[in-house]
Amino acid sequence: MIRVLWFALKLAVLIALATWLADRPGAVAIDWLGYRIETSVGILLAAVVLLVGLTALSYRAWRFLRRSPRSMSQSLQASKRKRGYKALTQGMVAVAAGEADEAARHARRADSLLEEPPLTMLLSAQAAQLKGDEEAAKRYFAAMLENPETRFLGLRGLLTQALRDGDQQQALDYVRQAHDMRPGTPWVLTSLFDLSERCGDLDTAERSLTEAAKAKALPAPEASRKRAVILLEKARAAAHASETLVYARAANKLAPDLVPGAVLLARQEIAAGKKRQAAKVLERAWAVGPHPELAAPYLETQPDGDGLERLKRLGQLTAKQPDHPESHLVLARAALEARLWGEARRHIKAAAGPEGLEGTPRDSVCRLMAELEEQENGDSALARDWLTRSARALKDPAWVCTECGAVAIVWSARCGACESFDALAWQTPPQVAPALTHDGGAAALEMEPAPAPPNPAAS
Ligand SMILES: [Zn+2]
């Protein structure tokens, strides 16, 4: 608006100047191409000024006309982009809401309006996933691999699809490519660890744990514990005893409380003639977490002796945890073998906890009592009573999966039921008691809550 007023003002000044000049006295004559023009000097000057003014005006008009198609197309483009982004946003909202058809419709519209393949392809792939059209989703993700900008996103999508198909080797291949592109990305490192371990590539699994700890993708203690488990797996898989020993030592250094690791290392040290070393490993493991599987290899660290000798040795193993129930149980068994009835009874009672044998002693306590009554007094009736009690007693600790609750006979790096890594913990399994059905027929299984720990405030 201001520009128009300014232009009108300039034109008015020009006209005024031309009129003023035309009124000036003086004459001029021009002979040109057979024409003769006679006029005053004022008119001539006014004519020249007007001609210059008109030329400038027409130049402006020409420039405006030349520019307008471009600015018109620019505004059209802007409006198209705006509608495209709106369709994209609506598509994402539809994906979040789980509306597959709506998402696909917006994806098509965004694709036709926007020249942004990274965004529209991802939306199209998500819409296809939502519709359950796995093949179309794979096609979109695979197309994203072509463009360096979308390659990483495409790999992530294809990885998810491969995991959904249960194709772990293919998933590992995708995650390796993603790792080459962005080696410090947390999800890449944790997926690389998980998949390489599942596929048996333990070297890559170990390396990815180190990288994950460095990139803070895993807390340092968790990464270190997982590394110990991987090293134990490597020790088990090693072809030569010397390699097994190296890996088992490294695993034990990282996690002295990992019982299967301590047992494997102790046996390797014994085989290598280093019984003193083996005994130290087992004593350290007992100090951080008493476990019955540590007792047998400990007895192998010294030459054979009689029952009393064995009881004394186990006293050394349990020295750092003298009040722990597992310590009392292992000593009670050794005392029974040595036929030291009083000593055996004392340890069994201590293993039963603060309530003693009158409370709810666990399975192994009842069984040891049955053995003691039978062997010491020949009292078969009392022994049978204890065996009956053991059937309903609290179960002994076992390898229980902390993820799915499955109970395993032997420890393994992955739960056999749910495949969780390093999920087996030595703890009391859930209580399962046999119960009769209404018709008195087949027995069904029923869960029984574990008894609550004694409440010191109540006593
Ligand atoms: Zn499990």
**CA 423–ligand 1 middle distance (angstroms):** 7
Burial of 224 (0-12, 13-18, 19+ CB in 10 A): middle
Beta bridge partners of 447: 432
DSSP string, 224-241: HHHHHHHHHHHHHH-SSH
**CA 429–ligand 1 middle distance (angstroms):** 13
User: Of 74, 102, 121, which residue sits at a domain end?
Assistant: 74
**CA 250–ligand 1 middle distance (angstroms):** 26
pLDDT band at 443 (very low <50, low <70, confident <90, very high): very low
Residue 413 lies in a domain: yes
Number of domains the chain contains: 2
**CA 387–ligand 1 middle distance (angstroms):** 31
Q: What is the mean pLDDT of residues 147-172?
A: 93
**CA 407–ligand 1 middle distance (angstroms):** 8
pLDDT at 3: 77
**CA 430–ligand 1 middle distance (angstroms):** 13
Q: Distance (Å, rounded) from C-alpha 45 to C-alpha 51?
A: 10
pLDDT at 439: 40
**CA 369–ligand 1 middle distance (angstroms):** 33
Least confident segment among 112-121, 152-161, 350-359: 112-121
HEC per residue, 379-414? CHHHHHHHHHHHHHCCCCCEEEECCCCCEECCCCCE
**CA 403–ligand 1 middle distance (angstroms):** 5
Residue 13 lies in a domain: yes
Least confident segment among 129-138, 207-216, 280-289: 129-138
Listed as own residue / partner, the contacts of 244-253 with beta carbons closer than 8 Å and 24 or more positions apart are 244/268, 245/269, 245/272, 252/228, 252/281
Asked whether 248 and 262 are in contact (CB, 8 A), the reply is no
Residue 47 lies in a domain: yes
Phi, psi of 295 (to 5 degrees): -70, -45
**Average pLDDT, whole number, for the chain?**
88
pLDDT band at 300 (very low <50, low <70, confident <90, very high): very high
**CA 398–ligand 1 middle distance (angstroms):** 13
Q: Distance (Å, rounded) from C-alpha 247 to C-alpha 256?
A: 13
What would the pLDDT profile of 33-83 be if each residue is shown by its tens digit?
A: 888 888 777 777 778 878 888 898 899 888 888 887 788 888 888 888 888
Angle between helices 134-144 and 117-131 (to 10 degrees): 160
pLDDT at 30: 79
**CA 414–ligand 1 middle distance (angstroms):** 8
Q: Distance (Å, rounded) from C-alpha 196 to C-alpha 205?
A: 5
Contacts of 106 by beta carbon, 8 Å cutoff, 6+ apart: 87, 88, 90, 91, 94, 123, 127
**CA 220–ligand 1 middle distance (angstroms):** 24
Q: Which two tokens stand for residue 231?
A: 């090293």
**CA 428–ligand 1 middle distance (angstroms):** 15
**CA 417–ligand 1 middle distance (angstroms):** 5
User: Of 74, 95, 117, which residue sits at a domain end?
Assistant: 74
**CA 184–ligand 1 middle distance (angstroms):** 30
Its domain, for residue 411, covers 397-428
Q: Distance (Å, rounded) from C-alpha 263 to C-alpha 269?
A: 10
Residue 42 lies in a domain: yes
Q: Distance (Å, rounded) from C-alpha 249 to C-alpha 231?
A: 9
Q: What is the mean pLDDT of residues 237-244?
A: 94
User: Of 21, 50, 74, which residue sits at a domain end?
Assistant: 74
Residue 30 lies in a domain: yes
Residue 68 lies in a domain: yes
**CA 213–ligand 1 middle distance (angstroms):** 25
Residue 164 lies in a domain: no
**CA 179–ligand 1 middle distance (angstroms):** 28
Q: Has residue 433 got a pLDDT over 70?
A: no
Q: Distance (Å, rounded) from C-alpha 361 to C-alpha 395?
A: 9
* Tokens 């859930």, located at residue: 430
CA end-to-end distance (rounded Å), the chain: 93
What would the pLDDT profile of 86-118 be if each residue is shown by its tens digit?
A: 888 888 888 888 888 888 898 888 888 888 777
**CA 422–ligand 1 middle distance (angstroms):** 9
Q: Distance (Å, rounded) from C-alpha 291 to C-alpha 5?
A: 97
**CA 196–ligand 1 middle distance (angstroms):** 19
**CA 424–ligand 1 middle distance (angstroms):** 8
Residue 223 lies in a domain: no
Q: Distance (Å, rounded) from C-alpha 194 to C-alpha 108?
A: 36
Tell me the CA distances in angstroms from 245 to 100, 157, 253, 275, 302, one per residue in order: 56, 41, 12, 14, 20
pLDDT at 21: 67
**CA 399–ligand 1 middle distance (angstroms):** 10
**CA 177–ligand 1 middle distance (angstroms):** 30
**CA 404–ligand 1 middle distance (angstroms):** 4
pLDDT at 436: 42
With left for phi above 0 and alpha for psi between -120 and 50, is residue 378 left, alpha or beta?
A: left
